[in-house]
Structure 1
Amino acid sequence: MQKFWMVLPLLAMAAPLQAKNAKDVFMPEDPEAAAFQSAVGFADAVIAGDKVYLSGVIVTPQPGESDLKPAFTRAFDRIGRTLERAGVSWDDVVDLTSYHTDLQGSINEMVEVKNRYIKAPFPAWTAIGISALYEADGVVEIKVVAQRTMDGE
């Protein structure tokens, strides 16, 4: 028989997962994407207190595209739709993190597209060079955190 003191740490780790309110978890509207994310175990976004945390969106060029701008536009549009579903906008983004498989080769096009969506005052931004992404043909993954405005502020 297991001792209670051995089970207690497991219960403590599981408690935060059960504490999320389902209305504060945003899954994809596309059934195929929702099925994939459910199987893997992640959401498009989660509201926790006054923050909205978005999962990373992978920038993937389509066959025949000669530059990354269309792929970045698709990614930023998807992020914008997720922010809207969570009740915030690009103006509420306080932190942006981007993971680049070729940082020098993608940063300028990202900046050009990003600047269409994000205006001053700017959020914090960290750009990180990495060796690979979950999707083999992905070149950048973009993750954001937004600050919710509470009523009366």
Structure 2
Amino acid sequence: MFIEVHSAMRALYPAGSEASADQIKVSPGIVSGNHVFLTGITGSCSNGSMPSDLEEQFRQTFEKIRPVLSEAGLDYSAIVEMTSYHVGLRDHFEIFNQIRSEYVDDTYPAWTAVEVAGLRREGAVVEIRVIAEIECD
């Protein structure tokens, strides 16, 4: 669902995201001009639990990006920039990159991976934010 913030911006709320987004006062995505900016996403499950299996957590994180992009009529190919924040980056970089590679195609988005001391969600080892481009006619 689109929610107009002001004439130049629209908030994106995939089905079922409104309550949790309202709780912490954040939009899952914002359309501004010809770009979509996604709030950082972790791999929590729909029941709020965090998978302890890293591969499952990484896939869940990428799967949660899909509905936000879809609200703007986009898919993963529209991603132009990705920043991933990792607890223990060097310990899981290879598996994360392997899974990331399943979701992005040539032309690959710009990507920065950052080591952090911790993330807001208990048990989260990765949080991803992306910027996507809306194709203009």
- TM category (shorter chain) comes to 0.7 to 0.9
Residues 39-118 of structure 1 aligned to structure 2 (within 5 Å):
39-60=23-44, 61-63=50-52, 65=53, 68-118=54-104
SS in 2 for 1:135: coil
Deviations 1:49-82 (Å, cap 9, x if unpaired)? 010000111135525x3xx111111111110221
Amino acid of the residue matched to residue 43 of structure 1?
S
Residues 84, 127 of structure 2: 8 Å contact kept: yes
Specify whether residues 59 and 106 from structure 1 end up closer, same or farther in structure 2 by C-alpha distance, changes over 3 A only.
farther
Inter-partner Cα distance in structure 2 for 1:29 and 1:107: 31
Q: TM-score normalised to the size of structure 2? A: 0.85
Larger Rg computed on CA atoms:
1
Partner residue of 1:146 out of 119, 123, 132: 132
1:19 matched to 2:6: yes
**Unpaired stretches in structure 1, ≥5 consecutive residues:** 1-17
Residues 28, 43 of structure 1: 8 Å contact kept: no
Runs of 4+ aligned residues of structure 1 deviating over 4 Å after TM superposition are none
Q: TM-score normalised to the size of structure 1? A: 0.77
Residues 8, 33 of structure 2: 8 Å contact kept: no
Specify whether residues 59 and 116 from structure 1 end up closer, same or farther in structure 2 by C-alpha distance, changes over 3 A only.
same
Deviations 1:21-61 (Å, cap 9, x if unpaired)? 67x2112422xx42221121101111000100001111355
**Unpaired stretches in structure 2, ≥5 consecutive residues:** 45-49
Amino acid of the residue matched to residue 6 of structure 2?
A
SS in 2 for 1:84: helix
- Cα shift at 1:20: 5.3
Relative to its length, the structure with more helix (as a share) is 1
Identity %: 26
